[in-house]
Amino acid sequence: MQKTVLTFVDDIYEDLELWHPKLRLAEAGYAVRLAAPGIGTFKGKHGYPAESDLLLRDARSTDFCGLLIPGGFMPDKLRRDSKVLSLTREFYEQGKLVAFICHGGWIPFRRKSSRASALPARPASRTI
């Protein structure tokens, strides 16, 4: 079984919502790739750096067993990116894990997935 998880990263991600799952996944034997609009270092809300190792434009859902979307302000920015939305759609369509924390839910809700629309959310998280 493929044991690599994709996660999105950009500035102002929620630090613990990226790092805690990333470290727990590593302990469980999973690799985690951080995809971003550019290769570089991104700062979380509380200043923790995260180094992207994959360009969003090069990410392919078939290379991963799941998708992790941390919260913060980062998902609000990335939910406007067509590549992010298409990747998220592909993970759902392939029946793969799509996990999101807090504001990370903005991305699956933005793409109006029938599965995502059935998930509980605060009114502020719903698609306009």
Condensed to tens digits (0 to 9), the pLDDT of residues 28-86 reads: 999 999 999 999 999 999 999 999 999 999 999 999 999 999 999 999 999 999 999 99
* Residue 106: pLDDT band with limits 50, 70, 90: confident
Return the bridge partners of 98, or none: 67
Question: Tell me, what amino acid is at 95?
Answer: G
Alpha carbon distance 105, 63 (integer Å): 22
How much of the chain exceeds pLDDT 70, in percent? 84
What is the pTM (predicted TM-score) of this model? 0.85
Alpha carbon distance 32, 81 (integer Å): 21
Cβ-based neighbour number of residue 81 at 10 Å: 17
Could you give the residue numbers annotated as active site?
103
User: Quick one: residue 12, left, alpha or beta (phi over 0 = left, psi -120 to 50 = alpha)?
Assistant: left
The DSSP bridge pattern shows strands 66-69 and 4-8 to be parallel
Alpha carbon distance 2, 17 (integer Å): 23
Alpha carbon distance 1, 40 (integer Å): 29
